[in-house]
Amino acid sequence: MQTCRFQLHYPQAFLKYPPTALPATKVGGLLFRQKLLYLQSLNVNPHKALTLNPSLRSTPLSSLLSVERFLCSVGLSRPSIGRILDMCPLLLTSDPLPPINFLLHEVPLPSPHLPLSLTRCPRLLVSSVATQLRPTLYFLTSLGLVVNSHTTLLLVSNVEHTLKPKLNFLRSLGIDEPEVNRMVVRSPGLLTLSVENNMRPKVEFFLQEMEGDLEELKFFPQYFSFSLEKKIKPRHRALVEHGFKLPLSKMLRVSDGEFNARVIEMQLQSVHKR
């Protein structure tokens, strides 16, 4: 991992006069310019940052440096810090300590896993522990889900408007609550999907075109993570053309080459049986 050491580079014109030798208005302009150069040194878009976080304009450079030093102290490399700050400029004027303490002590995440969680979901660092992170953690654990570095991104989701609609949709299919919870534990990615744009079309295709059984969806909820147009439909049609059928897991989990080889093998087996 790269270290977080940094060095500011300014145009020579800025180094010609120290701030104390300049009028107050020019000092203010120089300090603001230094702040922009610092953001650029992190590969943070200054225009985007100032647009999304107007209070950044009056924030001293020393405060921005403190944010970087803190993020460095939790194991993030400087390039990662730059990506996080560019994605979430509000962090430049926020205190990341409460969310970090929450992740380490209440989730709890092993400290080596913290950088992965933060790079996957920078919004964790600007979310309220009391009104967002903690209530969502309680909800997820009530489902039986163990939150880890791959699922901490769910903590920034709204329970009522984002998470519960997915569960309610699955229950509307006739799947009882304990089974729905087990599906989520097997495939936490279910909670990141759109009901209307993802889950509903896939269920309709599975039940109507594939004439599938809900029991198979309960056993293999990862079905929802595969592309309907690019993988599910083409592979189902390839099987139908030859009069074959495979369990969802065997149909979808393999690469295209392995799937085609499996279809050829089934064709050969059917020839031998004649």
Query: Shortest CA distance to 104 belongs to which of 14, 158, 96?
Result: 96
Spatial distance between the Cα atoms of 119 and 256, rounded to a whole number of angstroms: 31
N- to C-terminal Cα distance for the chain? 60
- Which tens digit of pLDDT belongs to each residue from 140-178? 999 999 999 999 999 999 999 999 999 999 999 999 999
The pLDDT profile of the chain, 274 residues, written as one tens digit per residue, is 444 554 444 444 344 445 554 455 555 678 889 999 999 999 999 999 999 999 999 999 999 999 999 999 999 999 999 999 999 999 999 999 999 999 999 999 999 999 999 999 999 999 999 999 999 999 999 999 999 999 999 999 999 999 999 999 999 999 999 999 999 999 999 999 999 999 999 999 999 999 999 999 999 999 999 999 999 999 999 999 999 999 999 999 999 999 999 999 988 887 766 6
What does the alpha-carbon distance between residue 88 and residue 86 come to, in Å, rounded to a whole number? 6
Residue in the structure block whose two tokens are 């405060």 = 63
| HSE-CB for 235 with a 13 A CA cutoff | 27
Domain boundaries, the chain: 160-225, 226-273
**Dist CA 155 CA 137 (whole Å):** 6
Do residues 191 and 180 lie in contact, with contact meaning Cβ atoms separated by under 8 Å? Answer: no
pLDDT tens sequence across 9-37 = 444 434 444 555 445 555 567 888 999 99
